[in-house]
Amino acid sequence: MLNLPKKHPKMKEYYIYNIPLFVVDDSETELDISKFCSDVEEILPHALLNNVEVVYIGKFEDLKDRNAMFDQGAIYMTSMEPTIFDMLENFIHEVAHSLEARHGLNIYDNNLVREFLGKRQKLYELLTAEGYNIELKHFLDTEYNKQFDNFLDNTVGYPTLLTLTMGLFASPYGATSIQEYFANGFEKYYLDSPRTVGSISPVLYRKIEEIINGDS
């Protein structure tokens, strides 16, 4: 759990459904947090937020290079995002991670692992053809690996990955790990198009549909 300052009079409180949201530090872009909350309620069914107890928005050093995180029932989000849409991306992505505790065994079964690793294998072939040199074993590990993330981010670069992964992953970040593959697909399902997710990742699409139908 991140270190938070004690509640003070200037800390603003909002609600997403019945879930309290505290603005610990104001956004420099003066975003309309009330609109963000109402947008979330329009996009996500309340039942999908069962594992989210509280939301914090602020400048959290513990986030480091991340924009948001889910930890022990709380979603922490940076207050430095430029638009409400960026905040929605962060929030919905972390809601996906909040669902892992309840649905993890169903989500990460052999079918999803097979789909994910098949895409990783194809990515390896594409990068090798482009002249990048990295061992295949890194592509066959489903879990997050900092070295592999740095390779994708700094050596290849996400602009290049965006071109190479078009039609392979919902977005390049989905290649990072199987957990991010799920969360990224969940985010795109709600903010882009379910049909797009279904055409790119049919197994992942079915997993998302099962969760929605089971929790609705």
Listed by start position, the domains of the chain span: 12-82, 104-215
Return the structure tokens found at 170: 């919902």
Residue 72 vs residues 25, 26, 64, 83, 201: alpha-carbon distances, Å: 21, 24, 18, 26, 29
Phi-psi region of 132 (alpha: psi -120 to 50; beta: other; left: phi over 0): beta
Amino acid present at 47: A
Predicted local confidence at residue 61, as pLDDT: 83
Q: Tens digits of per-residue pLDDT, 19-36?
A: 999 998 776 677 899 999
Predicted local confidence at residue 3, as pLDDT: 60
Q: At what angle do helices 84-98 and 178-191 cross, to 10 degrees?
A: 130
Distance CA 109, CA 17 (A): 32
Return the structure tokens found at 64: 């480091």
Q: Tens digits of per-residue pLDDT, 122-152?
A: 999 999 999 998 899 999 999 999 999 999 9
Q: Average pLDDT of the chain?
A: 92
Q: Which residues of 184-203 are buried (b: 16+ CB within 10 A; e: fewer)?
A: bbbbbbbeeeeeebbebbeb
Q: Tens digits of per-residue pLDDT, 189-204?
A: 999 999 999 999 999 9
Query: Is the pLDDT higher at 3 or at 99?
Result: 99
Q: Tens digits of per-residue pLDDT, 43-71?
A: 999 999 999 999 999 988 888 888 999 99
